Structure 1
């Protein structure tokens, strides 16, 4: 898969020098992609060029303190709404209009938060492995992660976690690639991300998510219990649930089927 047509740049958002990649025609429908905890925009490298090749104007950014973006001046963001509003400010700064927003894991929570507060300004949402609420980590685990002494060799932990949370049908070379760059996650940043994940809860605003939602769940995802997925799918006014067999926590990396499903959803959303 070629990366032709992708450009990169920086934009100042809330005092943060923010890195992003962009592809597709300027007059294409806008799409914004959000990465997972501790990671960066590389996670979307198999999706971004496909969006551009199919006529969409797509962006993926590094959240504050991730990848090539500098940290937020207020410290690492440990609140999902604050992260979502940062993404919304990014969209405004680059001139995005009525986008489809897509995200995985904490990115999935981010796009549901965006829909809960900005549904009238969105064309649609693609939520992978997120939910209306995600209180899935024991507080003791997060407390251990808070310092290097509490969780020594964090990098190796994240490397192995990245391998084992993929499904049995995941494309194996991508699993190894993902584990390689995921081990470079910064512990303090990842701790803030997972704290935001644990506190995230927009159930009271579920009725506000009136835009179309493609909700993608890998059946092998052990980070997100099925009960939270079913709760979310039942509560959303306009939700298409796609359960991917043999796939885990990172559908956009694990399977080319995801790209086809996303393109189909984008086409349906644009026809509304």
Structure 2
């Protein structure tokens, strides 16, 4: 664990595994932090990866972005590339969820030659204006209301899959209460406005899109459509899973390892 200066601010980064092993960058969801990968990262490292888990600017233990809360996922993608440069990652894979998944897709668009594989979970090319950007901006006026933490917890429960153990669901929802509402709303504005549809055919690295069948934030058909626009891309719909596969699925590191190995085989072919 260490701090790295990226774009003039300190970024907190966890690293697990052999520094010489194939690197995989793991990206968290809106308003959250790398803690979402706490169970996955050590097991993924044991499977033979250098696992890099950053807190995006203004999240977790990273300093805020110099320009304030970020509402452009493209800016986060550029930040990830700057982080990779700072860490000496010439080539790497990316696994992300929600805004992290969409950032992973953005990286595939802008940096395919550097990427061994991309696993984009709970993400599509464009959310068709969902959630309401107008509503999110209005909500920024009063997000410090005490009820916000409860709303975050209840909202997290709502988008978890029906197959999750109730005790695990309570833990995930409780952890999600920690988010900064100004940062998370800005993240969601970025989520709702980021449109990659026209750029997807130019992606030249192996990509796997993943969506939970119980994810109320996404339409699985829109995710399938995005995959169909990317040459050679795969799409998986996970039964009984909601918006947070890496938190909901026990032993997820083995699942992700399998996806990454399949994509590596695809690239070799």
Indicate the TM-score class for this superposition, using the shorter chain for normalisation: over 0.9
The alignment status of 1:53 with 2:49, answered yes or no, reads no
Q: State the distance in 1 between where 2:26 and 2:144 align.
A: 32
For 1:137, the equivalent position in structure 2 comes to 131
Q: Output one character per residue of 1:170-198: Cα deviation in whole Å (capped at 9) or x when no partner.
A: 23333222211211111110111001001
For 2:240, the equivalent position in structure 1 comes to 246
One of 77, 81, 85 as aligned partner of 1:88: 81
| Secondary structure of residue in 2 paired with 1:76 | coil
Q: Output one character per residue of 1:85-134: Cα deviation in whole Å (capped at 9) or x when no partner.
A: 11111111111131111100000110000000101110010000011112
Q: Aligned pair in 2 of structure 1 residues 270, 159: CA closer, same or farther (>3 Å)?
A: same
Q: Report 1:55-134 matches (<5 A).
A: 55-134=48-127
Q: State the distance in 1 between where 2:42 and 2:236 align.
A: 23
1:115–1:122 Cα contact (<8 Å) kept? yes
Q: State the distance in 1 between where 2:263 and 2:57 align.
A: 30
Q: State the distance in 1 between where 2:69 and 2:84 align.
A: 20
Q: Aligned pair in 2 of structure 1 residues 180, 122: CA closer, same or farther (>3 Å)?
A: same
Q: State the distance in 2 between where 1:149 and 1:126 align.
A: 32
Residue 164 of structure 1 and its aligned partner are, at CA, apart by: 1.8
User: With structure 2 as the length reference, what TM-score do the two structures score?
Assistant: 0.94
Q: Give the alignment's Cα RMSD to 1 decimal.
A: 1.6
Q: State the distance in 1 between where 2:262 and 2:228 align.
A: 21
One of 1, 10, 13 as aligned partner of 1:20: 13
Q: State the distance in 2 between where 1:214 and 1:148 align.
A: 38
Q: Output one character per residue of 1:4-27: Cα deviation in whole Å (capped at 9) or x when no partner.
A: xxxx11101011211111101121
For 2:184, the equivalent position in structure 1 comes to 190
Residue 140 of structure 1 and its aligned partner are, at CA, apart by: 3.9
User: With structure 1 as the length reference, what TM-score do the two structures score?
Assistant: 0.93
Q: Which runs of 5+ in 2 are unaligned?
A: none
1:147–1:188 Cα contact (<8 Å) kept? no
Q: Output one character per residue of 1:129-156: Cα deviation in whole Å (capped at 9) or x when no partner.
A: 0111123112342133212269662111
1:148–1:154 Cα contact (<8 Å) kept? no
Q: State the distance in 2 between where 1:95 and 1:133 align.
A: 31
The alignment status of 1:165 with 2:159, answered yes or no, reads yes
One of 210, 216, 236 as aligned partner of 2:210: 216
2:119–2:260 Cα contact (<8 Å) kept? no
For 2:31, the equivalent position in structure 1 comes to 38
For 2:221, the equivalent position in structure 1 comes to 227
Q: Which runs of 5+ in 1 are unaligned?
A: 1-7
Out of 152-161 and 66-75, give the one that drifted further.
152-161
Out of 175-184 and 189-198, give the one that drifted further.
175-184
The alignment status of 1:204 with 2:212, answered yes or no, reads no
| Secondary structure of residue in 1 paired with 2:173 | helix
